[in-house]
A and B are shown apart, each in its own frame.
Chain A
Amino acid sequence: MISLILRRLGTAIPVLLAVITLTFVMVHSAPGGPFDEEKAVSPEVLVKLNERYNLNEPLVVQYFDYLGNVLQGDFGPSFRYPSRSVTELISIGLPITFELALYAILFALMLGIIAGVISSLRPNTAYDYVPMTIAMAGICIPSIVLGPSLTLIFGIQLNWLPVTGWGDIPGDKVLPTITLGTAYAAYCARLTRGGMLEILNQDFIRTARAKGLSEFRVVVVHALRGGLTPVIAFLGPAMAGLLAGSFVVETIFGIPGLGRFYVEAAFNRDYTMILGTSIFFSCLIISFNLLSDLVAASLNPKLRDQ
């Protein structure tokens, strides 16, 4: 187990280095710079600004300076928000994005597992087709369509829920959670159905039924434990995907999370912020994948020795 962790961490370093290098080269080669503004900045001011952000050095020097700073945990000041450091911006955005992702995954698990179990119990009947068709639709509808539609129905037409914000008005977390969680709920439903179908056909289930156990005990106590393995394996990548992919939902609902900072940084040519968030997201994705590998390994002894 320890060697697995060490091996994975060993591959993580070159991956991170590649991410930093590629992002660095890409942001600096993008046309337009952070100081291009509508009110043209005078050449004298530009010199001062370049000095402050270390942009007057050759690119190679800047790159190694940056690497050195990152190793010390310093992502530098943001260009867009001169009075804030990238680390501060990440620490503002992350808890919000994390909370949103957590609600979304809980919503997805709850809805997905229930729907998946129901359809696996009576496969190839209406009880199977209807939830699975809805699940397919859930996977296909992008959040950029689902979010505004939900807003229009529940926010404007019915006036039940606020259309924007995060933690200001009661109920404002409902629509973003549903919007972000739906696609994952649909995946969960399909994975649960697949896992359950495989388990329900096995001998120990027949034995359990033969013992005269109630259907509820058979399904919930015996079958579900094995039937959820694919869903658990999916959790790691799903959480990483939710964290890194929440910017669409954050933009639709005006949630001040990390995803929005990330996208805005690209438009603003906020070099340090783009680099900082890219590195941060890479670390996050690497750790969640490692975590999900570890869970899978602990469930399946065969994987441990590989």
Chain B
Amino acid sequence: MKKINIASLLLLVFLSACGESESKVDSALTEQVLYFGNGTEPKDLDPHTVTGVPESHILMALLEGLVMRHPEGLDPLPAVAESWTISEDGKTYIFTLRENAIWSNGDQVTASDFVWAWERMLTPSLGSKYPDMLYDVVNAEEFNKGIIKDFSKVGVKSLGTKILSVRLKNPAPYFLGLLAHYTTRPVHRPTIEKFGEIDTIGSKWTRPGNFVGNGPFTLEDWQLNKVLKVKKNPLYWDADKVRLNGIHFFPVDNATREDLMFRNGQLHVTSTVPLEKIEVYSKQYPDLIHIDPYFGTYYLRVNVKKAPFDNKLVRKALSLSINRKEIVEKVAKGGQIPAFSFTPPDPNSYFPPTTLEYDPVLAQSLLKEAGVSQEKLPAFEYLYNTSEGHQKLAQAFQQMWKQNLNIDVELANTDWKVYLSRQNIGDYTIARAGWIGDYPDPKTFLDMMVSDRGNNQTGWSNYEYDNLLIKAAQSPSQEERFKHFYKAEQILMDELPIIPIYTYTRVYMLNQDVKGWSPNLLDSHPYQFVYLER
């Protein structure tokens, strides 16, 4: 018995030292510091070499581009660019930068900062991950692919300290949307050159103390796997409007731990909610749980090089025998919307065709028509990466295909890197996949299925489809572009190299003290609009 006494005594000694203190979220009200659950630890803070969502959350605080996204809609708002004019043919943009846009070390943000940043981003030897974001600019693609060595031939010019001109090869009505993406933001040339060359990957310029940014916040502290802190930038042109004094980004890659942190008052906003808690919290804490529509699609990739999936009738049969309504209501359970097209509906009023209703009878007859019987179709493999959610969905598909088509499916669960590598080399039959749009335009989805694009990975190639996307790029008006996209999407949904399942939702917990946080499709919440109040 004594052991218990001693143990509890020991515990009491520990506890008396700390006592029941005010939670971090409580004290944040006076400090105006936002505690942000940010998923995984950022790889780096170089806007030209990172790709992840956690990095994008931090870069939104540290760097500002020519435009930013409206917190409620997705329309571009003036940021570093005070105003801009677009030529009649839609191919020339002239940006006027703010006089009072300055770097956190006091230097002016100039047009040549943008020119140099874009040169760096497109420099082939840097190996940046998003160069295609600027491929609409004249000669940008050629420069990035090493065909042109002289950057002055690329269509971005400084016409004075604060005037930037950009020439596009096609009228691209979504171009301003791209300019809100972190990869097109300016970087501070003297800082980068102090720590390396234009194409040095991973130099120390992104460390606290070195980082010079132009965003509403500056980098204060970065402790790996622990916290990354930013504090208000007094030199930011719109600093008067910024009400938060700082943001602490916590890398919490474990949903359960993040949930505990939120309940313990250590976080204002989480990056996710544990799967099994979504239903409970929706009833228990309807004010705290947020289920926002998200510009992303959960879909299945089909390897069209593998028989019998080279036959579109077979792919169609697979798709028709999936009851998407049941999937989202009984399996995914996160308020997702059944998807019948690759592009989620309504980015700037684009409504894709929808023709994939659940119809097992038709599915069976299509399978017969394709001449595929049980004997001819040996059990095939369904590839997915380790995750409880993917596993449940995989089992649901397996059951639906067995029940409706009498097809046997083997589930292949692999770790993330194996899953990616097998798709990359085409060593799979059917695999789960997900894609989140980078900017509010159907192009961010449809472009992926163009022949031989890095993320196509299905082996599918369609001349007409490719052509429609080229035509869309050359269309002067949004209306005409959308017409081409609509047709392209029709082809895609008829051929089905990918089978859309549902439109993602972003499910997270948000403390009620957080104000000025508006849900939007791209989950983008500019911090200058956010504040804490109870």
Contact = CB atoms under 8 A, between A and B. Distances in A.
B9 to A, nearest CB: 11
A127 B6 CA distance: 13
B272 interface: no
Interface of A: 30-34, 36-42, 44-45, 48-49, 52, 77, 80-84, 89, 92-93, 110-111, 114-115, 118, 126-127, 130-131, 134, 148, 151, 155-156, 159-166, 168-171, 174, 178, 251-254, 256, 260-261, 267-269
Contact of A256 (B14, B124, B202, B223): B223
A127 B2 contact: yes
A36 B224 contact: no
Contact of A171 (B18, B124, B254, B422): B18
B14 A32 contact: no
Nearest to B227: A168
Interface stretch (B109-117, B260-268, B287-295, B364-372): B260-268
Contacts of A34: 417
A131 B6 CA distance: 11
A251 to B, nearest CB: 7
B127 A45 contact: yes
A291 B268 CA distance: 47
Nearest to B46: A83
A115 B18 contact: no
Contact of B20 (A32, A80, A159, A269): A159
Contacts, number: 168
Top-6 shortest CB links A-B: A32-B417, A171-B18, A40-B454, A82-B202, A256-B225, A83-B202
A251 B251 CA distance: 12
B417 A267 contact: yes
A162 to B, nearest CB: 6
Contacts of A52: 127, 201
A174 B421 CA distance: 42
A169 B145 CA distance: 50
Interface string B23-41: 0100000000000000001
A81 B224 contact: yes
Given A169-B24, A256-B224, A161 B18 contact: yes
Contact of A126 (B1, B224, B257, B263): B1
A55 to B, nearest CB: 13
B513 to A, nearest CB: 18
Given A32-B415, A83-B206, A131-B3, 11 more contacts: A36-B421, A40-B424, A44-B124, A44-B145, A81-B41, A148-B256, A165-B226, A174-B18, A254-B226, A267-B416, A268-B417
Contacts of A84: 202, 224
Contacts of A155: 260, 264
A163 B266 contact: yes
B455 interface: yes
Interface of B: 1-4, 6-7, 10-11, 14-15, 17-18, 20-21, 24, 41, 43-44, 46, 49, 51, 124-130, 145-146, 201-204, 206-207, 223-227, 250, 252, 254, 256-257, 260-261, 263-264, 266, 414-422, 424, 454-455, 457
Given A39-B51, A156-B260, A260 B420 contact: no
A256 B226 contact: yes
B2 A131 contact: yes
Contacts of B51: 37-39
A82 B14 contact: no
B15 A111 contact: no
Q: Which of A131, A163, A178, A267 has the most CB of B within 10 A?
A: A163
A156 B204 CA distance: 40
Contacts of A111: 3, 6-7, 10
Contacts of B415: 32, 267
Contacts of B266: 162-165, 169
A82 B48 CA distance: 13
A33 B21 CA distance: 46
A277 to B, nearest CB: 14
Contacts of B43: 80-82
Contact of B257 (A82, A159, A164): A164
A82 B129 CA distance: 14
Given A52-B201, A155-B264, A269-B417, A163 B2 contact: no
Nearest to B2: A118
Contacts of A131: 2-3
Q: Which of A44, A118, A254 has the most CB of B within 10 A?
A: A254
A82 B44 contact: yes
Contact of A160 (B18, B125, B250, B414): B18
Contact of B420 (A38, A48, A80, A256): A38
Given A111-B10, A260-B225, A268-B417, A82 B49 contact: yes
Given A83-B206, A156-B263, A254-B252, A31 B421 contact: yes
B514 to A, nearest CB: 20
A41 B7 contact: no
Nearest to A159: B20
Contacts of A174: 11, 14-15, 18
B420 A37 contact: yes
B276 to A, nearest CB: 14
Contacts of B264: 155-156, 159, 162-164
A170 B17 CA distance: 8
A114 B420 CA distance: 53
Nearest to B434: A38
15 contacts: A31-B421, A41-B454, A48-B126, A82-B43, A83-B207, A89-B224, A118-B3, A127-B2, A130-B1, A164-B266, A169-B21, A171-B14, A174-B14, A256-B225, A267-B416
Contacts of B17: 170-171
Contact of B417 (A36, A134, A162, A169): A36
Nearest to B42: A81
Contacts of A261: 225
Nearest to B126: A48
B254 A251 contact: yes
A174 B12 CA distance: 11
A151 to B, nearest CB: 6
A30 B416 CA distance: 12
Nearest to A131: B3
Q: Which of A36, A111, A160 has the most CB of B within 10 A?
A: A36
